[in-house]
C-alpha cells in the first residue's frame, strides 16, 4: 500500500501486465496502420508514458505530437477542458491517432476528436491503453484498446492524483486506509478464537505468530526446530527470529486491507520493529485491543484447551504459569507503549463468545 497526498493506493497492475497491454495496443496499430504514416497525438500529461512505449513498438514511419488537456478535478475526468490545440504538424489529409492513457466517461477524447476533425484529417482513430467500459458513455468509437479495466481510480504509468504518482512504473488503485490492529491479552485470553471471527467480519488478514511457529514445528523446518526449544519451556522465541518471520508474513499479502496481529508484538523491541515495518508501508497500528482476563480463569482455560488440542505447552500447569509470568514481565508493559499513543482499548474477556466478539467489535469499529 502507498499513500499519495491524503489517499491510499494498492497494487493493481504490474509493470509486466502494463507492458502486455501496450503490446496488445501496438499489435492492433501495427496491423492497421503500417503504411499510413500516422500522426500519433498524445494527450498531456497522462499519455507521455504510453506514447513513449507505444511508438517504440510501432515498426513503421510515424510522427508524434502532443496536446494538453487539463483536469480540474483530482479523481475524475469530468470537467476536463482542452486548453490548447496547437499541434505543430499539419493534420490535413493525414491518418491521426489520438493516444490516451485512459478513457473513462470519454468526455475529453470526444471533445478532442471533434476539434481535430476540423483539421480535415483523412482518418481519425482513438487508441487508449486503458478503457473503463462500465462508465464510457459516448457514441464515439474507441478503435484500439490495450486493456479494459474496472471503474476504479488508478494512478501510475503517467496517471496522477493531484500531480503525484505519474512516475510509478506500476498501476495502483485507490483503496481504504489499512486497519492494523494488535489483538492483545495473556495466553488463554481467547485472542486466536476471536481473531478468526473478526478477520471475517472486517476483511482483515490474521497473523498469529504462535500458529506460524506451530506450523513450522509440524513441518520440521529449521525455524520450527529452533522455536520449539523455547516454546516447550514457555519462553519467548528470540526477537530477531520472530521479527524476521513476522515481516515475511506481512509481505505475503501486500494488498491486505489490514492485519490483526495476534501474539505479536510481545516485547518492546517487537513493538518498535512493527512500527517501523508499517511505517515503511505508509501505514501504522490503528490500535491495540486487549482482552482482559484474570489469571485463575486463564490457567483453567488453558488446561482445558490442552486436553482438547494436544498442544504441549497447554498440557502442563507449570509451563502455563511460566507463560503467564513471561507475559506479565515482558509483554504486559506494551499496554503502556500503546496507551502513551492513545491507542490502548481494553475489553472484558470473560463471557460468551458472541458477547466478547460484540465487545471487541465496538472497539474495532472506532479504529
CB atoms within 10 A of CB 39: 20
| Separation CA 206–CA 260 (nearest Å) | 5
CB atoms within 10 A of CB 93: 10
Residue number of the CB atom closest to ligand AMP = 210
Q: Per rule CB under 6 A, is residue 204 in the interface with ligand AMP?
A: no
Q: Per rule CB under 6 A, is residue 51 in the interface with ligand AMP?
A: no
- Please, which residue, 228 or 359, has the CB nearer to ligand AMP? 228
Q: To the nearest whole angstrom, how small is the minimum distance from the Cβ of residue 211 to ligand AMP?
A: 6
Cell 478464537 sits at which residue? 193
Q: To the nearest whole angstrom, how small is the minimum distance from the Cβ of residue 283 to ligand AMP?
A: 20
| Separation CA 15–CA 292 (nearest Å) | 47
Q: Per rule CB under 6 A, is residue 210 in the interface with ligand AMP?
A: yes
Q: Per rule CB under 6 A, is residue 231 in the interface with ligand AMP?
A: yes
User: In DSSP terms, which residues pair with 172 in a beta bridge?
Assistant: 11, 155
**Rule CB under 6 A: which of 268-287 touch ligand AMP?**
270
Which residue among the candidates 36, 132, 179, 191 is catalytic per the annotation?
A: 191
Which range touches ligand AMP (CB under 6 A), out of 79-87, 93-101, 146-154, 236-244? 236-244
Chain mean position to CA 114: 39
Which residue among the candidates 233, 272, 311, 321 is catalytic per the annotation?
A: 311
- Please, which residue, 151 or 229, has the CB nearer to ligand AMP? 229
Q: DSSP state, 288?
A: E
**Rule CB under 6 A: which of 79-108 touch ligand AMP?**
none
DSSP 3-state assignment of 30? Answer: helix
- Please, which residue, 47 or 242, has the CB nearer to ligand AMP? 242
- Which residues, including other chains, have CB under 8 Å from residue 195's CB and lie 6 or more apart? 183, 206, 208, 260, 262
| Separation CA 295–CA 325 (nearest Å) | 10
Q: Per rule CB under 6 A, is residue 293 in the interface with ligand AMP?
A: no
Which range touches ligand AMP (CB under 6 A), out of 62-70, 176-184, 234-242, 273-281? 234-242
Tally the C-alpha atoms within 13 A of residue 330's C-alpha that lie toward its C-beta: 21
Strand pairing class (2-4; 7-13): antiparallel
Q: Per rule CB under 6 A, is residue 344 in the interface with ligand AMP?
A: no
Q: To the nearest whole angstrom, how small is the minimum distance from the Cβ of residue 199 to ligand AMP?
A: 16
Answer yes or no: are the C-beta atoms of 308 and 202 closer than 8 Å. Answer: no
323 is catalytic: yes
| Separation CA 42–CA 39 (nearest Å) | 10
**Rule CB under 6 A: which of 170-189 touch ligand AMP?**
187
Q: Per rule CB under 6 A, is residue 236 in the interface with ligand AMP?
A: yes
| Separation CA 62–CA 259 (nearest Å) | 51
Phi first, then psi: give them for residue 40, nearest 5 degrees. -85, 120
**Rule CB under 6 A: which of 9-48 touch ligand AMP?**
none
Which residue among the candidates 132, 214, 305, 359 is catalytic per the annotation?
A: 305
The closest of 9, 40, 278 to 166, measured between CA atoms, is 9
Which residue among the candidates 228, 266, 301, 359 is catalytic per the annotation?
A: 266
Q: Per rule CB under 6 A, is residue 306 in the interface with ligand AMP?
A: no
37 is catalytic: no
214 is catalytic: no
- Please, which residue, 119 or 311, has the CB nearer to ligand AMP? 311
The closest of 328, 324, 327, 304 to 314, measured between CA atoms, is 304
List b or e across 192-213, with b for residues whose CB sees 16 or more CB atoms inside 10 angstroms. bebbebbbeebebbbbbbbebb
Q: Per rule CB under 6 A, is residue 67 in the interface with ligand AMP?
A: no
Q: Per rule CB under 6 A, is residue 359 in the interface with ligand AMP?
A: no
What residues line the site for ligand AMP (CB under 6 A)?
187, 209-210, 213, 230-231, 234-237, 242, 263-264, 266, 270, 313, 323
Which are the catalytic amino acids?
191, 266, 305, 311, 323
Amino acid at each position: 500500500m502507498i499513500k499519495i497526498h491524503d489517499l491510499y493506493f494498492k497494487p493493481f497492475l504490474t509493470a509486466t501486465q502494463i507492458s502486455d497491454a501496450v503490446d496488445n495496443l501496438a499489435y492492433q496499430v501495427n496491423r492497421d496502420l503500417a503504411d499510413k504514416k500516422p500522426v500519433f497525438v498524445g494527450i498531456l500529461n497522462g499519455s507521455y508514458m504510453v506514447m513513449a512505449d507505444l511508438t517504440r513498438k510501432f515498426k513503421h514511419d510515424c510522427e508524434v505530437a502532443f496536446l494538453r488537456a487539463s483536469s480540474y478535478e483530482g479523481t475524475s475526468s469530468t470537467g476536463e477542458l482542452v486548453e490548447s490545440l496547437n499541434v505543430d504538424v499539419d493534420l490535413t489529409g493525414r491518418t491521426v491517432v489520438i493516444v490516451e492513457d485512459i478513457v473513462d466517461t470519454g468526455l475529453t477524447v470526444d471533445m478532442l476528436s471533434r476539434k481535430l476533425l476540423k483539421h480535415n484529417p483523412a482518418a481519425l482513430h482513438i487508441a487508449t491503453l486503458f478503457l473503463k467500459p462500465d462508465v464510457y458513455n459516448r457514441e464515439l468509437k474507441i478503435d484500439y484498446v490495450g486493456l479494459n479495466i474496472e471503474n476504479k481510480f488508478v494512478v501510475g504509468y503517467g496517471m496522477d492524483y493531484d500531480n503525484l504518482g505519474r512516475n510509478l512504473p506500476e498501476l495502483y488503485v485507490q483503496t481504504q486506509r489499512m486497519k492494523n490492529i494488535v489483538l492483545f491479552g495473556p495466553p488463554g485470553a481467547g485472542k486466536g478464537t476471536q481473531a478468526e471471527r473478526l478477520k471475517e467480519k472486517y476483511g482483515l488478514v490474521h497473523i498469529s505468530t504462535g500458529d506460524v511457529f506451530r506450523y513450522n514445528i509440524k513441518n520440521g523446518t529449521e525455524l520450527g526446530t529452533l522455536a520449539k526449544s523455547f516454546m516447550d519451556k514457555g519462553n519467548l522465541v528470540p526477537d530477531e527470529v520472530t521479527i524476521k518471520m513476522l515481516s515475511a508474513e506481512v509481505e505475503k499479502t501486500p494488498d491486505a486491507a489490514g492485519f490483526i496481529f495476534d501474539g505479536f508484538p510481545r516485547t518492546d523491541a517487537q513493538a518498535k520493529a512493527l512500527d517501523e515495518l508499517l511505517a515503511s508501508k505508509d501505514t501504522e497500528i490503528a490500535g491495540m485491543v486487549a482482552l482482559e482476563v484474570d489469571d485463575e480463569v486463564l490457567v483453567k482455560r488453558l488446561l482445558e484447551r490442552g486436553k482438547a488440542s494436544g498442544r504441549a505447552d497447554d498440557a502442563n500447569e507449570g509451563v502455563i504459569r511460566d507463560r503467564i509470568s513471561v507475559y506479565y514481565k515482558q509483554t504486559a508493559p506494551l499496554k503502556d507503549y500503546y496507551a502513551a499513543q492513545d491507542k490502548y482499548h481494553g475489553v472484558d474477556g470473560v463471557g460468551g463468545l458472541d458477547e466478547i466478539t460484540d465487545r471487541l467489535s465496538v472497539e474495532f469499529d472506532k479504529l
